[in-house]
Structure 1
Amino acid sequence: MTETVAVIGAGMAGLWTALALAPTGRKVTLLDRDPPPPPGDADEAFTGWAHRGVTHLRHSHAFLARLRGIIRDEHPALLEALNAAGCRELGLDGMLTDRHRKRWRPRPEDADLVVLTSRRTTMELVIRRYVEAMPNVEIRSEAFVEGLDASGEAPLKVTGVRLRGGETVAADLVVDASGRTSSAFDQLADLGVQIGETAEDAGILYFTRHYRLRPGQVEPPRGGAP
C-alpha cells in the first residue's frame, strides 16, 4: 500500500519535503494557501508572484554547500534547471579575498564547497516546476488548511487535514511546512495534545538590494577592495 503524505505549505520546506519523500514511492500532496506563480520566466515571478506566505520572497537567497551537494547528487536535472534560470554557483576559490588567496592551498574536498545563490523567487519557481512534474506529487494552490483531522485518544493519531470550505484531505502522514505562521500547535492543543515549544530571536536583520548590469558591462573581479 502506498503511503500518502499531506504537506501543509508549498514554500521551500514543503517543496523539499516532496523532493525527499516522493522518490521513495510515497504519494505527496502539497497544500498551498496562496495562488500559483504566474506563467512565464523568473522575471515575471519576481514582479508578479502573490506568495503572501513568504515574507522574504523578493530577497536574495542561497543554498549552502551541503544542500547544493544534495541537489547535485540526488536531483542533477534540478541543478541544471536552476543554473539555466540564472542561479549562480560560487565556489570557495571565488569567495576568497586576494589577501586570503595568498595563503590558501586547495584541497580536493574544496570542490564541494559551492554555494548556490539567486533571487528567492527564481529558486522557488524552478523547484516548484520540477516538483510539479514528479509523477506522484500534486500541488494544490489556494487550499487553506483550517484544522487537523484526528482519531483516538491516547495516543492521538492525525489522519489528515480540513480545508476551508469543508473538504477533508486524508493522509497517513501530515507534515507541517507552513513556517513561522503555523497554527499546528494551536490545532493540536484544541485536540487535547500539549507540546512544548521553545522560541529564540535570531537577531538577524535581512536587507536586499538588486542590481542589473547595463548592456555590454561585466561584473568587477571578486576578492579585491570594493
Structure 2
Amino acid sequence: MGRSDYAAVHDLFDALDETWTSWMRDIRLARARLIVPDAYIRDRGPGAGGSFDDDREVWEALKIPPTEGAGITLSQFDIRVEEHRATAEAIVRQAAQTAGYSPQSFGLDGGGQPITATEVDSRDQRSMVTRKKKAGYWRHATAEMLHVLLQVDAAQFGQPITPNRPRVEFGDGVAESEQATATTLDLLNRAGAVSTATKVKALHPEWDDTAVKAEVAAIHAETGAAAPDPVGTFPM
C-alpha cells in the first residue's frame, strides 16, 4: 500500500554497489605480489614453463651487475578503507533520507548511549512521520482484508460468527521504559490528576477492560481505598 521506499533511491543503490565493488577491487589489487628477474625463475624444461619458489631460504650467487638493481621487488598497493567507508556511509545516509527515514533509524548516528523515548522521537522525527503515513495507508486496507477473511470463514467454513469490520490500530513506534512510566504515574498521582484505572491502563496497555477492572478492584482491596469513609457526610 502506498509508494515503495525504493522508488527514488535506485540510483543511490547503484552508486553504493559501485562503491562496494571498488572497495573489493582494492582488496584484490592489494594482494602482495613478488616481481623477480628472469634469472630467479627455475626452468621446468621445454614446454613446461618456469616457476619461482618464494619459500626458498638459500640462493646461490647470481651473475647480475650490482648497478642494475635487479632484485626481488614487493608489489603491494594500499587499500583505501576510510575513503570507501566514508563514501558508502554518505550514500546510505542519503538513501535513508530520500526514502523518508532518519539516519538514526539505521544506526548511522548516536554513540550507543541509552536515550529516552522522547529523545528517540526527536532524532527519528523523519522516520516517525513516514511510519504514521504508512500506518494510514495500511489501517483501512488491513481492516478490509480481515473483514473479507471473516466473511469467507463464516460462508465457506460455517463458523458461527458475525463478520463485523474490525478496527485496526497501530501501536506506538517507541515504548517508554517501565522506570520512565512509573516516574510519570507517580508524579500524576501526587498531583491527584490520574485515577487508578488510568494508571493500570498506562502500565498494561495490552489489557482489556475486564482485566483492568479486576486489577483496579485488587488494588483497592489491598490499599483499602474501596472502604467507605467513616467520617463521611450523612443526608439530612
Query: Shorter-normalised TM-score: what interval?
Result: under 0.3
Greater helix fraction, Structure 1 or Structure 2: 2
User: TM-score, normalized by length of structure 1?
Assistant: 0.22
Larger radius of gyration: 2
- Which is bigger in relative contact order (C-alpha 8 A, separation at least 6)? 1
Greater strand fraction, Structure 1 or Structure 2: 1
User: TM-score, normalized by length of structure 2?
Assistant: 0.21
